[in-house]
């Protein structure tokens, strides 16, 4: 699906983090993450499936692949 990134920065708990000054914040763990390393990124791929009568969007996360 166009217009969205296929990856996102995440905490150790796999929840996405939001930028907060010089760090990232995880709302699930209620803590700040100060270092983002490549293994901290999670993958999210959206697939649009069309059969001619209807279409649907499926979301696959890296744990599903």
| Residue 1 belongs to a domain | no
Residue of 1 and 34 predicted with greater confidence:
34
For residues 30 and 45, what is the distance between their CA atoms, to the nearest angstrom? 26
Domain that holds residue 39: 7-61
Closest by Cα among 61, 35, 25 to 46: 61
In this structure, is residue 2 part of a structural domain?
no
What is the distance between the alpha carbons of residues 3 and 19, in angstroms, rounded to a whole number? 20
In a domain, 32, yes or no: yes
CA distance 30 to 26: 6
> Is residue 10 within 8 Å of residue 17, measured between CB atoms?
yes
Does pTM surpass 0.85?
no
Cα-only R_g, the chain? 15
Question: Tell me: the pLDDT tens digits for 2-22?
Answer: 667 788 888 888 888 999 988
Structural domains of the chain, count: 1
């Amino acid at each position: 699906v166009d217009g969205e990134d296929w990856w996102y920065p995440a905490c150790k708990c796999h929840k996405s983090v939001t930028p907060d000054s010089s760090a990232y914040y995880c709302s699930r763990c209620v803590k700040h993450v100060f270092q983002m390393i490549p293994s901290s990124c999670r993958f999210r791929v959206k697939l649009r499936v069309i059969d001619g009568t209807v279409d649907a969007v499926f979301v696959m996360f890296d744990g599903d692949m």
